[in-house]
Chains A and B, each alone.
Chain A
Amino acid sequence: MKILAVCGNGLGTSFMLSLNVNKALKELNIDGDCKNMDLASAKTEQADYYIGSPEIMDQLNDGKKKTIRVVNMVNLNEIKDALKAHILEG
């Protein structure tokens, strides 16, 4: 499973988020890998799920992409809950 962490320039916020998403995936035993990318590139990049802050997900969502909104990028529990809700129960 391919997950993309997305932010404005694909460096700081999304990078930090991807570290925590990969940790969460491991703890949830979900077979997947999270990479980070900037918003413009992510629009044309295929992935199973896209994850990021609400305002970035709103700009990315074209109605076809599966997006996951996260408010706290360093809270592992929030990220795990979001992944569970979308991937395991989605």
Chain B
Amino acid sequence: MFLSRLTKELVQFEEKIDSWEQAIELASNPLLENGSIKESYVKAMIENVKNFGPYIVLMPQVAMPHARPEDGVEKTGISLLVVKEKVLFETDKSANLFLVLAAEDATNHLTLLQEISDFLSIEENIETLLNATNYEEFLNNLRGK
């Protein structure tokens, strides 16, 4: 499932991030490091929000930054940044979770998106993430339910 793709090195926890741009950049780092995306993809994700507004905020507290495969995806991957203090967008929207999505092509990420959707639709999962300060804690809390 989706959680098994989110291995420890792909998940980061922070207290506070000053801007949504910085949050997207930081959240993308693990995918840059493991070669899933190129720098151009990070820029494209930020441009998307500047052009279209924060539609990447899928639900209260959760943003899913993404761009097009041709913007610089090498292989499909996801990474997650959890920020305790909410990060503001230019409108009234904000987010605590930044789930970066990189999809190799437009069709084969169906399963991945379905899994993400299923995970996020359970509100307790989001609480569990926000209450954790590190990866082990998060996993233990999820298992403990």
A binds B: yes
Q: How far is the CA of A73 from the CA of B66 in the complex (A)?
A: 15
A55 touches B106 (CB 8 A): no
Most buried by B among A15, A39, A56, A76: A15
- Which residue of chain A lies nearest to B55 when distances are taken between CB atoms in the complex? A53
Taking a contact as CB atoms under 8 Å apart, the answer to whether A74 and B120 are in contact is yes
Q: How far is the CB of B102 from chain A (nearest CB, A)?
A: 10
Cross-chain contact A72 with B103 (CB below 8 angstroms): no
Interface size on B, residues (CB 8 A): 28
Q: A73-B58, A75-B59 are in contact. Are A56 and B116 (CB under 8 A)?
A: no
Contact at A53–B117, with CB atoms within 8 Å? Answer: no
Given A11-B106, A55-B91, A75-B121, A16 contacting B55 (CB threshold 8 A): no
Contacts of A9 in B (CB 8 A): 48, 66-68
Over the window 110-124 of chain B, the binary record of Cβ atoms lying under 8 Å from chain A Cβ atoms (1 yes, 0 no) is 100110110011000
**Which residues on the A side are within 8 Å of B68 (C-beta)?**
9, 11
Assembly CA distance A9 to B59 (angstroms)? 18
Q: Is the CB of A55 within 8 A of B59?
A: no
Question: Which residues of B line the A interface, CB within 8 A?
Answer: 48, 51-60, 64, 66-69, 91, 101, 103, 106, 109-110, 113-114, 116-117, 120-121
- Can you add 17 more A-B contacts, CB < 8 Å, to A9-B67, A12-B66, A16-B64? A8-B51, A8-B55, A9-B66, A9-B68, A11-B66, A11-B106, A13-B55, A13-B56, A53-B55, A59-B52, A72-B58, A72-B59, A73-B58, A73-B59, A74-B117, A74-B120, A75-B59
